Amino acid sequence: MTDIQTTTDPGLLLLISLASGAKHGHAMLLDVERFAGVRLGPGTLYGALSRLETTGQVEALPAEGRRRPYRLTGAGKIALEQRLAGLSRAVSTGIARVSA
Amino acid sequence: MSRLITRLYPRAWRERYGTELSDLIDETGMSGRVAFDVARGASQEWTSQARLALAGGGSMVIGPAWRHPTAWAVVGAVVLLPTVLFIALSALAISNPFGDQFTSQRYLDLALLLAPALAALLAALPLVRVSYTPADGGPVATLSVRLRAVNMVVVITGLGITCLLVGHVLFESVLRLGA
């Protein structure tokens, strides 16, 4: 089944954020707000992050002081590509139907 | 406050992400929206942990207050205190310890009536812990109960006052019906 989620899916937003490089929690929150206009709550962010780490899509790096950065894994990059491809098909279809 | 609210999460999750979450809350600032978001996140983690345990993928321990029994007893005592004071002062001031005040201000009455039961519950919470562990012969659920003097004093006092107040309210109602 194609994984089509809305752009407010926090897991997808975090994967997109980490695609540009490793970030800690607050940096992810600011980045997501910048590119998606969505302000994730701390509980939502860490809930999504823990699920992504459990499924091996992101991994934690050694802590920098009190902050711990996270980065995308190979599996996470593949999952992100698949999800974006699914979204892209849905968006293309939607635009074509609206324009028709 | 941020450290306190992260205690809503299951311990294993908290030990892994609690400090980071708490730091993020400090950075972004605490608000009603943030508190709701964290509470919702905690409930999702508990649900996730329960699903995992039921599927045989891990154990689950529910005993949120188990590690700080005295603190919970103190909180229970603080909740109980206004009702105890009210009863003591009423008993000293007039022959009917509950008097007219008890029937004139409904919300106050209700709060004073429920407080002892709530206090008993808060003090009893650290005395119980439930664990659910998958095993070869099927999952094993264990209920652990312990007795601690400080908590038991609050529990018994709270329950005693609750019974006293409920009895009084019922007695008053019967008298009113008969009049």
Cα distance from A44 to chain B (closest Cα, Å)?
A: 6
Beta bridge partners of B141: B132
Give the residue-averaged pLDDT of B113-125.
Answer: 92
Give the residue-averaged pLDDT of B31-56.
Answer: 85
The position carrying tokens 């009863």 is: B87
Q: Which pLDDT score, from 0 to 100, does residue B88 have?
A: 83
Per-residue pLDDT band at B78 (split at 50, 70, 90) = very high
User: What mean pLDDT value characterizes chain A?
Assistant: 90
* Euclidean distance between the first and the last CA atom of chain A, given in angstroms as a whole number: 27
Q: Which pLDDT score, from 0 to 100, does residue B100 have?
A: 58
Over 50: is that where the pLDDT of A1 sits? no
Smallest Cβ distance to B41: which of A24, A47, A66? A47
pTM above 0.95, yes or no: no
User: What mean pLDDT value characterizes chain B?
Assistant: 83
Cα distance from B24 to chain A (closest Cα, Å)?
A: 6
The position carrying tokens 């008053």 is: B172
**Tens digits of residue pLDDT in B94-104:** 555 555 555 56
Instruction: Calculate ∠ Cα B66-B40-B1, nearest 5°.
Output: 60
Q: Which pLDDT score, from 0 to 100, does residue A2 have?
A: 40
Over 80: is that where the pLDDT of B92 sits? no
Give the residue-averaged pLDDT of B60-75.
Answer: 83
Per-position b or e across B65-86, b if 16+ CB within 10 A of its CB: bbeebeebbbbbbebbeebbeb
* B25 contacts A49? CB cut-off 8 A: no
Q: Sign of dihedral through CA atoms B73, B74, B80, B85?
A: positive
* B37 contacts A43? CB cut-off 8 A: yes
Shortest CA distance to B151 belongs to which of B65, B62, B83?
B65
Phi then psi dihedrals of residue B133, to 5 deg: -125, 125
Smallest Cβ distance to A66: which of B23, B38, B42? B23
Q: Are B53 and B134 in contact (CB under 8 A)?
A: yes
Smallest Cβ distance to B42: which of A25, A29, A43? A43
Q: Which of B4, B11, B14, B23 to mutate to test the interface with A (most CBs of A within 10 A)?
A: B23
Which of A41-50, B35-44, B57-66 has the weakest average pLDDT? B57-66
Per-residue pLDDT band at B149 (split at 50, 70, 90) = very high
Q: Which pLDDT score, from 0 to 100, does residue A96 have?
A: 94
SS3 content of chain B, % helix, strand, coil (to 5): 70, 10, 20
Phi then psi dihedrals of residue B86, to 5 deg: -60, -45
